[in-house]
Structure 1
Amino acid sequence: MLKPGSTIGILGGGQLGRMLAMAAAQLGYRCIAYAPEKDPVAGDVCADLFTNDWHDAKAMAAFAQKCDVITWEFENVPVEPLAPLTQRLAPHPRALETAQDRVLEKRFVENLGGRPAPWKAVDDRGDLMEAIERIGTPGILKTRRDGYDGKGQWRMASARDAEGFNRTGTPLVYEGLVAFEAEFSVILVRGKDGAVRYWDSPHNVHESGILARSSLPAPAVVTEQVESARALAKQVADALDYVGVLTCEFFATRQGPVFNEMAPRVHNSGHWTIEGAATSQFENHIRAICGLPLGDTATTGSAVVMENIIGKAAAKAHAFLADPDAHLHLYGKATAREGRKMGH
């Protein structure tokens, strides 16, 4: 068990790191963040901040020297510079390696018996035409790496769209569209002893590829498939010997749950747990990586809705406070760009 007063290192400086640091402070830990970008919002609530490049080995070593345990807040942290940090990292970086490459992720899940959408790796236009012929249209062409919130994705309505597509040199994956009835996520926390707890699965609604809201209770089409989805998510966590919060996103279909993607970290669809569950995803992640007992994940209200505040909507966000049941979280971002998550 990591004693209070110990230091937790957070790789990444966004809102997830910010909320992790706030949860850690509540448990008596101090946090430092490592984030190459200018003025990361996690830095506002951390005791120290490194704004060096990911590949700056000297800075990374100095950062690690100050930490008793290190975690991350987003999955696109380069894996190679983390090799010297492995003994202090939680989760293990193999979770990053798996989640960063959509093809590796899909093969990994299939080997566990999971069912992703029909897919094919695409390296050139010939591969794309073959994928469309085999899988059909409509479909989604995605970058194998680095995409999030709808970025790095192109809809293919027909083979004609593929004929005009020019993205040579970028590894891609083509996925057939899934006829789903709802989207949902399985959010779990796994301790160092292998114990697993689940939060209730929210119904997720995306707009323009970005999560707009997560709500509970989820409709029957989701709740009927949660047990099966949880079983796969636990297999993923166990296979990775995972420690911390893990999120797996699913499509609810008439044929059962279809795996969409995994996020080896705290997740936007779990923000409702801050006020809506006995223990939030952020606190339980800190508990897990510090070797503390996991907290109760029970939902505390009869209904919970988490709404993302995106872009310029942040300017009017304080109006939500007129509702006595509302809880406002703004992330401290200076610029409200279109599609940018400013709070919830």
Structure 2
Amino acid sequence: MSRAPLLPAVKAETTLGVLGGGQLGRMFVHAAQQMGYFTAVLDPDPSSPAGRVSHHHIQTDYLDPQGLAELARLCVAVTTEFENVPAQALAQLAATRPVAPAASAVAIAQDRAREKAHFVACGVPCAPYAVIDTAEQLAAVDEALLPGILKTARLGYDGKGQVRVKTREELNAAWAGLKQVPCVLEKMLPLASECSVIVARGADGAMVNFPVQRNLHREGILAVTEVYEGNLPAAVAEQAVAAAKSVATGLGYVGVLCVEFFVLTDGSLVVNEIAPRPHNSGHYTLDGCDLSQFDLQVRAMVGLPLVQPRLHSPSILLNLLGDLWFAPGSDEAVTPPWDQVLALPGTHLHLYGKLEAKRARKMGHLNITGATPEAVRAVALQAAALLGLEPF
């Protein structure tokens, strides 16, 4: 159902809220402020990246009744920056304020079993799987699902809560190692590449999408995203966009949604998972598109028009983890050679304002844009070499 747009006010502040104060919240805050909105962040961390740049920082737990009441008092609409915010917090806020995405959609994204069932209901292919909640279900697992990946049904991200298993013995041991929490076993499939699609959907059902993003992960964490015409076969790209829109429509989704896919060696496509928020693989949109994923996040939550974003430059994103600050064998943090990196044409550095570098921690990203995919790739490889990143 459509609603009147919640436009920024001139004489009285119009405030938008976000649950979560990480880098996604920070970039949302910047986009909202650029459009004239005031912002409020609810996050327990006193030095959260988003909280430090917002007009208001409510420093409470996500389920704190007083904190949620204060966020509702301040804001005309609320969103979230990460999928593991308690869905009940979103539900409480939705009693008095527009919330996008809805608690029901976030709850599905928080549970791999429900997520898989949603894919099936939408007619979107996913890897063969089995839900394991009990010892009986574990014993009944079909041997055809092995080798596979055992994933915790909840609270898994960036490769956490996942164990590769080849035999039934390894499966039994892995489930025990995961404390016998509810899990999903997915059959391992022969992968050629990975990709993702980001869509934005309004309360009126209007929907737009960014180009398909080809992704490279290392140790379960996104390392490189490449976006340009022809980065994937046209048929695969079209199928991915159609599948992502089907998933969003089936959820009755409002906001920005990322759908991640595996491209198999036979050229077929299977969906992996969804993220009910802007996504790491979409950060290139800040410099490569005429609208960023955060611009569309703001527009969707306040009911402003969603127009089809345009990729104006071939783009490559390099994720910058805290490892870059440490020489091999050293625990002393040293600033990477940003001056040398920024001397390269088409480089755009985004650091997230985190006060301490830690290994495997996302500290920022580097976007590279240029006139041709070949030129962008050449510069990206130069930047990777300067930073000590593996070539790709």
Q: TM-score range by the shorter chain?
A: over 0.9
Partner of 2:245: 234
- Structure 2 residue matching 1:60: 3-state secondary structure: helix
Partner of 1:27: 35
Alignment partners' CA distance in 1, 2:133 and 2:348 = 46
Equivalent residues of 1:222, 1:252 under 8 A apart:
no
Match of 1:259 among 271, 281, 284: 271
Equivalent residues of 1:50, 1:63 under 8 A apart:
yes
- Structure 1 residue matching 2:140: 3-state secondary structure: helix
Amino acid at match of 2:22: G
Match of 2:336 among 311, 316, 320: 316
Alignment partners' CA distance in 2, 1:37 and 1:26 = 24
Following superposition, the deviation at residue 258 of structure 1 comes to 0.1
Partner of 2:162: 153
- The alpha-carbon distance between structure 1 residues 220 and 80, as it changes in their structure 2 partners (threshold 3 A), is closer
Partner of 2:146: 136
Partner of 1:112: 122
Partner of 1:203: 214
Equivalent residues of 1:54, 1:60 under 8 A apart:
yes
Amino acid at match of 1:110: V
Identical residues among aligned pairs (%)? 41
Partner of 1:187: 198
Following superposition, the deviation at residue 44 of structure 1 comes to 1.6
Alignment partners' CA distance in 1, 2:351 and 2:40 = 20
Equivalent residues of 1:128, 1:174 under 8 A apart:
no
Equivalent residues of 1:190, 1:243 under 8 A apart:
yes
TM-score (norm 2): 0.83
Alignment partners' CA distance in 1, 2:337 and 2:363 = 10
- Can you list the C-alpha shifts for 1:49-87, whole angstroms capped at 9, x where unaligned? 112112211221122111100000001011123322114
Alignment partners' CA distance in 2, 1:104 and 1:277 = 33
- The alpha-carbon distance between structure 1 residues 6 and 222, as it changes in their structure 2 partners (threshold 3 A), is farther
Amino acid at match of 1:323: L
Following superposition, the deviation at residue 251 of structure 1 comes to 0.8
- Structure 2 residue matching 1:316: 3-state secondary structure: coil
* Residue 284 (structure 1) aligned with residue 296 (structure 2): yes
Equivalent residues of 2:150, 2:171 under 8 A apart:
no
- Can you list the C-alpha shifts for 1:201-243, whole angstroms capped at 9, x where unaligned? 1110000000001002265645321212222211221222222
- Can you list the C-alpha shifts for 1:6-54, whole angstroms capped at 9, x where unaligned? 1000000100000000011110011110012342111121001112112
Alignment partners' CA distance in 1, 2:15 and 2:172 = 53
- The alpha-carbon distance between structure 1 residues 320 and 129, as it changes in their structure 2 partners (threshold 3 A), is farther
Following superposition, the deviation at residue 183 of structure 1 comes to 0.5
1:65-104, aligned counterparts within 5 Å? Answer: 65-86=73-94, 87-104=97-114
Q: Which runs of 5+ in 2 are unaligned?
A: 326-334, 366-392
* Residue 164 (structure 1) aligned with residue 168 (structure 2): no
Partner of 2:370: none
Partner of 1:41: 49
Q: Which runs of 5+ in 1 are unaligned?
A: none
Equivalent residues of 1:202, 1:218 under 8 A apart:
no
TM-score (norm 1): 0.94
Aligned length: 342
* Residue 330 (structure 1) aligned with residue 351 (structure 2): yes
Amino acid at match of 1:41: P
Alignment partners' CA distance in 1, 2:144 and 2:136 = 12
- The alpha-carbon distance between structure 1 residues 223 and 125, as it changes in their structure 2 partners (threshold 3 A), is farther
Partner of 1:122: 132
Partner of 1:50: 58
Partner of 1:224: 235
Following superposition, the deviation at residue 93 of structure 1 comes to 1.4
Alignment partners' CA distance in 2, 1:230 and 1:264 = 16
Following superposition, the deviation at residue 124 of structure 1 comes to 4.1
Partner of 2:15: 7
- Structure 1 residue matching 2:114: 3-state secondary structure: helix
Amino acid at match of 2:104: R
Amino acid at match of 2:305: P
- The alpha-carbon distance between structure 1 residues 323 and 68, as it changes in their structure 2 partners (threshold 3 A), is same
- The alpha-carbon distance between structure 1 residues 113 and 255, as it changes in their structure 2 partners (threshold 3 A), is farther
